[in-house]
Chains A and B, each alone.
Chain A
Amino acid sequence: MSSINLIGGSRMTRFLMLLPATLWFVILLLLPIAAIVVFSVGERGPAGGFVPAFTLEHYGNLGARWAAFKNTLTLAPLGTFGCLIIAYPLAYFLAIHTSRWKSFLLTLVIIPFWTSFLIRTYAWIYILGGKGLPSFLEFLGFDYMRMLNTPGAITVGIIYGYLPLMVFPIYVTLERLDKRLLEASHDLGAGKIATFFRVTIPLSLPGIITGSMLVFILLMGEFLIPAILGGGKVFFVGNALVDLFLQSRNWPFGAAIAMSLVVLMLITIGVYLKLVGRFHDKQALSAM
């Protein structure tokens, strides 16, 4: 008989034990995806919404939102990289160099989460708006610069909004990092820089991967920041989806774009993990 019987379960108990996980999986993952697939091959109703049908025309029409895909695929990796560059030193400092202030500083990183993301993004309207930073710089003698409603403002908003999601996973791996390995590296003659690149970074790779995935996946669906800080002039896939579901109510086309986004994300993440894996292997090899 099956191995389950070895731990004493009957068919019934096996069923019951699998039930919660199966239900979770079916209700929260499979059903919504099935709904999106069904929508994506349907037709738009005369007043919007969805009418059951079978057509692949919406997938054929994806080119109509090419600009949105292009913007997302440029700004999402850029934003993820920006977060990483800023988050890593911060996490490193928190994990390795502070002791007394650690919990206080960590709280500071968390505090922004106590307020709605929307409100925090709105705050940037006033910081980057004409009476904020630009007028301060003008006061200091610089030329007036328009900051709000530019791609730069979107990038700032993205990095600001997503930074904590990158800081924490990296912090956790660095915090758990065995400090004796760093000492060993020094003892064996590696300088600070060599130790950092050949010991610290490879060992914190799991944190870097988790953080990058968290930020990247959420960024691929971002729509709020471009709408608020980009003045609605820069269009992400997220914005295309919001418009299709909430404005023109073309659910089938929206569903087709959502499915394509899922597929695109799986491919991008697959490639990313492959590249990181190769880097990891190389490090392991050169360390031998």
Chain B
Amino acid sequence: MKDIDRKTFAKELERLRKGSISRRDFLNRTGLGFATAVMASGMGIGSGLLSGTAHAAAKNIGDRVSLATWPNYHDTMNFDAFAKATGASVQVNVFGSNEEMLAKLQAGGSGWDVFVPTNYTITTYTDLDLIEPLDLSKIPNFKADSYEKRFMEPGIVDGKVYAVPKNWGTTGIVFNSKRIKAMTSWKEFFDVTQGYGSGGTIVHDYQLTTIGNALKSFGYSFNSVDEKELADAEKLLIDCKPHLYAITSDYQPALRNGDAWMSMCWTGDGSQLHRDMPEMQYILGKEGGELWSDFFAIPKSAENKEAAYALINYLLDPKVNEREVLAHGYPSGDNRVDALLPPEMLKDPIMYPAAELLNALEFGAAATLVDPNRAELMARFKSA
């Protein structure tokens, strides 16, 4: 193994995170190769292996654990380290929407051991009897009092903890300031789309946010199911459709290569885009919009429950979680993790928006997600 000092390693690691070198390149440069995980743990990078999950390593948890999660939402080196320590390799399934996750789980045979539902879906999962209360004794790294109440509450149903918080975030607007003038509202987002920004806008392929944000531009509730209000939102969306670049929740590639200039955007995508291209600005609409929190939960049908608990516990280890946050740019909500983050990150308005903007936001509601009229509206918009 090549000799490499801690500083160089940290620098290369930072470059890897910023995406300026590929992962294989990184391993070559640092001379780590497959020894990465072992060495990393020695350097304090994999401390989770030594503390929180040490007991899991001793126990046989099987050779795999299947995780259903969202795009760009993990530091893959953490998975490698987990596999190295426990012998269970993490199989990652990436999803585009909560409905899709729900549909897979509802249909049965998903094969997942851990998944990442968003706040407004959890009561649906408990109603359908698809998840079970967590055995918190198997997640010693979870400390309820280190979280803000509003980001933890949705995981608790009838006093029982069904899910523990992963990250929270907002749904705002990302725009390329080289093409689009600074804006502050959802109304401007839709005006610019139909005006000088025509042809460069992306909206999510997700009724909750696309319809919700269109509703916000009129000043209505993000969760409205009112007929008249939905009709206004539908007209706006259909008027915008010829001016859209795409209807997709995978908006980073088009923004990065300059084909699109503006998009509805989740916190972490905003962080990642801004980190790599400073001209990418992330803002929240002043009318309000969505505040959300994601959770870890274990499906009733999970085959590797021990491994599922071990993985959740590992990812909630503050040191591990810190690396997750550095990689994906979503706040963890865990004040033990915040204490480890670089201070300038805690001042980042993308991850930690000003209180008055944050307080204008609403959590998505369970009824919004399953509302048949909103689903049909989205279909009419997409087929228009």
Nearest residue in B to A242 (C-beta to C-beta)? B100
Q: Is A49 an interface residue (CB 8 A)?
A: yes
Q: Hey, what's the 0/1 contact readout for A251-273 against B, CB within 8 Å counting as 1?
A: 00000000000000000000000
A-B contact pairs, 9 of them (CB 8 A): A47-B127, A48-B103, A231-B245, A231-B246, A233-B247, A247-B97, A247-B99, A247-B378, A248-B207
Q: Hey, what's the 0/1 contact readout for B366-384 against A, CB within 8 Å counting as 1?
A: 0000101001101110111
Contact B258 A247 (CB under 8 A): no
* Contacts A130-B257, A233-B247; A47 near B128 (Cβ below 8 A): yes
Q: Which residues of B have CB within 8 Å of A227?
A: 248
Main secondary structure of the interface of B (DSSP, over half): helix
| Shortest Cβ gap from A66 to chain B (Å) | 8
Nearest residue in A to B202 (C-beta to C-beta)? A231
Nearest residue in B to A44 (C-beta to C-beta)? B372
Q: Which residues of B have CB within 8 Å of A244?
A: 379
Count of chain A residues with Cβ under 8 Å from any Cβ of B? Answer: 32
Q: Which residues of A have CB within 8 Å of B127?
A: 47
CB < 8 Å neighbour of B248 from A67, A231, A235: A231
Contact A232 B370 (CB under 8 A): no
| Shortest Cβ gap from A31 to chain B (Å) | 16
Q: Is A131 an interface residue (CB 8 A)?
A: yes
Interface residues on B, range: 20 to 34
* Contacts A243-B382, A247-B207; A130 near B259 (Cβ below 8 A): yes
Contact B370 A47 (CB under 8 A): yes
Q: Which of A77-111 contact B (CB under 8 A)?
A: none
* Contacts A47-B128, A65-B383, A129-B254; A232 near B205 (Cβ below 8 A): yes
- Cα-based distance from A125 to B257 in the complex (angstroms): 11
Contact A233 B244 (CB under 8 A): yes
- Cα-based distance from A64 to B205 in the complex (angstroms): 19
Q: Which of B229-264 contact A (CB under 8 A)?
A: 241, 244-248, 253-254, 257-259
Nearest residue in B to A249 (C-beta to C-beta)? B103
- Cα-based distance from A68 to B384 in the complex (angstroms): 9
Contact B246 A247 (CB under 8 A): no
Q: Which residues of B have CB within 8 Å of A233?
A: 241, 244, 246-247, 382
A-side interface residues toward B, CB under 8 Å? 44, 46-49, 64-65, 67-68, 71, 125, 129-131, 146, 148-149, 227, 231-233, 235, 239-240, 243-250
- Cα-based distance from A129 to B259 in the complex (angstroms): 7
Q: Which residues of B have CB within 8 Å of A65?
A: 379, 383
| Shortest Cβ gap from B218 to chain A (Å) | 23
| Shortest Cβ gap from B245 to chain A (Å) | 6
Contact A146 B258 (CB under 8 A): no
| Shortest Cβ gap from A60 to chain B (Å) | 14
Q: Which residues of B have CB within 8 Å of A240?
A: 379, 383
- Cα-based distance from A271 to B241 in the complex (angstroms): 36
| Shortest Cβ gap from B295 to chain A (Å) | 18
Interface centre among A64, A67, A248 (most CB of B within 10 A): A248
* Contacts A64-B379, A245-B103; A131 near B241 (Cβ below 8 A): no
| Shortest Cβ gap from B244 to chain A (Å) | 6
Interface centre among A49, A125, A227, A232 (most CB of B within 10 A): A232
Q: Is B8 an interface residue (CB 8 A)?
A: no
CB < 8 Å neighbour of A68 from B124, B378, B383: B383
Contact A248 B259 (CB under 8 A): no
Q: Which residues of B have CB within 8 Å of A47?
A: 102, 124, 127-128, 370
Contact A247 B383 (CB under 8 A): no
Q: Which residues of B have CB within 8 Å of A46?
A: 370
Contact B103 A246 (CB under 8 A): yes
Contact B128 A248 (CB under 8 A): no
Q: Is B268 an interface residue (CB 8 A)?
A: no
Contact B97 A149 (CB under 8 A): no
Q: Which residues of A have CB within 8 Å of B378?
A: 243, 247-248
